[in-house]
Chains A and B, each alone.
Chain A
């Protein structure tokens, strides 16, 4: 097994916390708790994200968190917020309920695309950083916004690959590549839009430090199998990135020596 060797030398770090897995996964859309748990196990992920919602008052409800492996780090998110104020409020509630400073900040700008509202996200990030949160913001794959989020003190930046839940894969590899080159020290987590294993590999080959996904695993016909595929894809992409790929050429370049061929 080569995984431990990679893990020891190439850990993924956010806000001083080291992870062996570069895959972060969601907890929504699974057909059953058992399926979710099997997928989580197969993915090797060490961190999962959960949403904050009003408790139902009509029946006493079990805690969703009881269905998660206690070894997993829980990253609450502000999914469903459409302005900075609601996102900050949600983050504070999450911190109170869970006792964690970590928050996946998500401020949505539009219901059809679920594209982030970068301005509101930046506002919320500034407030939350001041309050001591470890802020991981979801935003459009835009270098300038990434710079501003990092200047605001975010622990990482989480550009989208494609719209949330679309499964389209990395739509703008150039933007991610530029972001990596221009922000060599930043922690970049590609968040949203991955559809299958090769999409995750591409994100990692472009230099992402990690990938966060939910739907690609939860909506696969065999979620656990896809979770394992994603684990391998992330590892493959990371290794390829670290290995320094060959330069692309327009024309062929023979791998065998041109001399010594038999003559007719």
Chain B
């Protein structure tokens, strides 16, 4: 981590951004720290009937407000789609 460009930038910026892997895609957020509830809001996701994992652990909806998402975290957000059998 010490040699990555992002770290060099963080040395200059007082409020470094965080990079989070969401559904396999890297996403930058311009906050030093981010709550899961804020992340869901920033992604403009309807919070009903989605489920969220952080680093493979399900975070219950009631805990989204408390849960801090940190630089390098892997977040999975799923919902339901049409399907009967293997799509």
List the interface of chain A (C-beta within 8 A of B): 25-30, 36, 49-55, 57, 60-65, 74, 76-77, 79-80, 89-90, 92-94, 96-98, 106, 108, 114, 138, 164-165, 191-192, 212-215, 218
Contact = CB atoms under 8 A, between A and B. Distances in A.
A85 B45 CA distance: 27
Contact of B79 (A36, A63, A92): A63
B85 A97 contact: no
B56 to A, nearest CB: 7
A53 B81 contact: yes
A98 B51 CA distance: 8
Nearest to B40: A55
Contacts of A76: 80
A106 B46 contact: no
B46 A64 contact: no
Interface residues of B, number: 31
28 contacts: A26-B82, A28-B84, A28-B87, A50-B82, A50-B83, A51-B83, A52-B78, A54-B77, A54-B78, A55-B45, A55-B50, A55-B77, A57-B22, A64-B79, A64-B80, A65-B49, A77-B84, A77-B85, A80-B86, A80-B87, A89-B53, A90-B78, A93-B78, A94-B80, A97-B49, A212-B84, A213-B84, A218-B84
Given A26-B82, A27-B82, 5 more contacts: A25-B84, A29-B82, A51-B82, A54-B78, A64-B82
B8 interface: no
A57 B44 CA distance: 9
B27 interface: yes
B32 interface: no
Contacts of B76: 54, 93
